[in-house]
């Protein structure tokens, strides 16, 4: 029967997992790719960085694959057999990602990542989050054109030698057959995930203690977000492009959280933790 309890229960049993999957944190880096491609106002931010990013990635990866790939594969064959060719590629790509991040991201990209993050939030209707931290030209035709100079420190993700060193330290995990590469990606994602919301914590003026509590409540989600973000950065010649699209995905995740938080408590300034349980269906951040 159309209105039978059995049918309603069946619909709910399908809808709940569907909502959980659609809100899963690991999807946001992928959503960021689609969002970036479907919103042309973001493209100028990419064009300004595309050529130097592509050239740097090309030089670094060409050098690494020419001089280090075969020696590493030969060494890995002692442990992995034929899988050494695949795991060796991941190892070299990981090394390349660390070098490119060190040379490029820390010195050239962070300002652009802030612009992507802020522009997405403005486009999603959260101008009030941005207006306190930078000058906005509300007459601008697009969210990017509305962005003025920051009025205080504006950092998307702080440069961390510790993160780079840990990245290099964990690279040998790729020596472990089969499980090594996934372990490397997840452990690195665990550390890197929360950095993608550093800008959000700045906008809310969170203290170190508040940031730690916020992240701790959502550590598993941040781990999956960071893992997928890292995996995208391992794509040859596209790592810097995916840094920008991941910033868009990070902002989309924040927008979803803000929508839920404000619906629950419109007077909350963001400092109070949400009163609802931290489960995968009810809380998307």
What is residue 281's predicted lDDT score, i.e. its pLDDT? 39
Q: Tell me if 119 sits within 8 A of 247, measured CB to CB.
A: no
Strand, coil or helix: 176? coil
Instruction: Say how far apart CA 256 and CA 150 lie, in whole Å.
Output: 24
Strand, coil or helix: 101? helix
Alpha carbon 1 to chain centroid, angstroms:
46
What is residue 144's predicted lDDT score, i.e. its pLDDT? 92
What is residue 163's predicted lDDT score, i.e. its pLDDT? 72
225 class by beta-carbon count within 10 Å (0-12 exposed, 13-18 middle, 19+ buried): buried
Q: Tell me if 36 sits within 8 A of 47, measured CB to CB.
A: no
Instruction: Say how far apart CA 102 and CA 108 lie, in whole Å.
Output: 10
The per-type count for the chain, helices as H runs and strands as E runs, is 14, 2
Model's pTM, two decimal places?
0.76
Q: Tell me if 265 sits within 8 A of 208, measured CB to CB.
A: no
What is residue 228's predicted lDDT score, i.e. its pLDDT? 94
pLDDT beneath 50: ranges in the chain? 1, 7-22, 271, 273-283
68 class by beta-carbon count within 10 Å (0-12 exposed, 13-18 middle, 19+ buried): middle
What is residue 274's predicted lDDT score, i.e. its pLDDT? 46
Q: At CA 236, angle to CA 67 and CA 91, rounded to 5?
A: 50
């Amino acid at each position: 029967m159309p209105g039978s309890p059995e049918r309603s229960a069946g619909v709910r049993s399908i809808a709940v997992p569907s909502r959980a999957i659609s809100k899963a944190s690991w999807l946001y880096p992928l959503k960021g790719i689609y969002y970036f491609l479907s919103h042309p106002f973001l493209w100028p931010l990419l064009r300004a960085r595309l050529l130097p990013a592509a050239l740097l990635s090309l030089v670094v990866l060409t050098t690494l694959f020419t001089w280090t790939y075969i020696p590493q594969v030969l060494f890995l064959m002692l442990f992995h057999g034929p899988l050494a060719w695949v795991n060796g590629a991941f190892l070299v790509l990981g090394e390349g990602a660390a070098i490119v991040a060190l040379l490029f991201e820390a010195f050239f990209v962070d300002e652009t990542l802030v612009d992507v993050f802020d522009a997405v939030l403005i486009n999603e209707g959260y101008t009030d989050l941005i207006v306190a931290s930078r000058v906005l030209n509300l007459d601008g035709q697009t969210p990017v054109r509305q962005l003025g100079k920051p009025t205080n420190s504006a950092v998307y993700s702080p440069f961390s030698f510790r993160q780079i060193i840990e990245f290099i330290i964990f690279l040998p995990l790729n020596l472990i057959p089969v499980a090594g590469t996934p372990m490397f990606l997840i452990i690195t994602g665990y550390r890197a995930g929360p950095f993608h919301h550093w800008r959000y914590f700045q906008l809310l003026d969170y203290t170190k203690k508040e940031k730690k509590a916020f992240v701790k409540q959502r550590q598993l989600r941040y781990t999956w977000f960071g893992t997928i973000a890292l995996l995208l950065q391992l794509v040859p010649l596209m790592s810097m492009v995916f840094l920008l699209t991941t910033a868009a995905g990070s902002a989309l995740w924040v927008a979803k959280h803000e929508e839920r938080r404000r619906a629950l408590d419109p007077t909350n300034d963001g400092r109070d933790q949400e009163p609802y349980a931290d489960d995968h269906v009810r809380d998307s951040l």
